[in-house]
Amino acid sequence: MKNSANIYGYIRVSSVDQNEDRQYQVMKELGISDNKIYIDKQSGKDFNRPEYKKMVRRIRRGDVIYLISIDRLGRNYEDIQEQWRILTKNIGADIVVIDMPLLDTRVGRDLMGTFIADLVLQILSFVAENERDIIRKRQAEGIAAAKKRGVQFGRPPKELPDNFNECYILWKSGIISATAAARKCNMAVSTFRYRACRYKMDS
């Protein structure tokens, strides 16, 4: 690596509530200056990363970017591959993934070294995406199971007005329209129809 090369560190935490101190401390221990450490606090789903974009605009051929792990680069397999290609192939910078020594493009710049790094990248980014899919699936299964047990999510519905049952019966009997029933209950028609449907299911 040439002496003129700049060393950057990129940190991403998955939400504004998470703390980046551990990643930041690692970057400082590597001797990276504060003005070359970029931090984004967004979820993997929200990939509008302003600090990452600023860093990419500064990077030149021969510069080095440190990442704690490969999933800092993207939210899925395609994103990680694309960012890796932009940084290493288009710009000509080096990437060092701290928790995976095989992903260090400063070493093994021959054909075999490049092949191994690219192969490991493909495997790890594929695994990272699959892990996220598994987590999302488990979350969905957990929510479905909780709903079956009667757990309520979101805001609790408003109490029905005292005359709702009367209006519901009149509407179901065809005596009054849904619009008239909704007006009597001081509701929007769509709200009345929705609550009437739920009322029927709960009865």
- The answer to whether 14 is a known catalytic residue is yes
Query: Tokens at residue 166, please?
Result: 């009367």
Tell me the residue type at 174: G
Q: Find the catalytic residue in 4, 14, 125, 173.
A: 14
Q: How many CB atoms lie within 10 A of CB 182?
A: 21
Q: Is the dihedral of CA 106, 107, 108, 114 positive or negative?
A: negative
- Residue 91 gets which letter from DSSP? I
Distances (CA, A) of 111 to 13, 22, 34, 101, 107: 34, 35, 35, 18, 11
Please state, in angstroms and rounded to a whole number, the distance separating the CA atoms of residues 20 and 2.
Answer: 30
Catalytic sites, residue numbers: 14
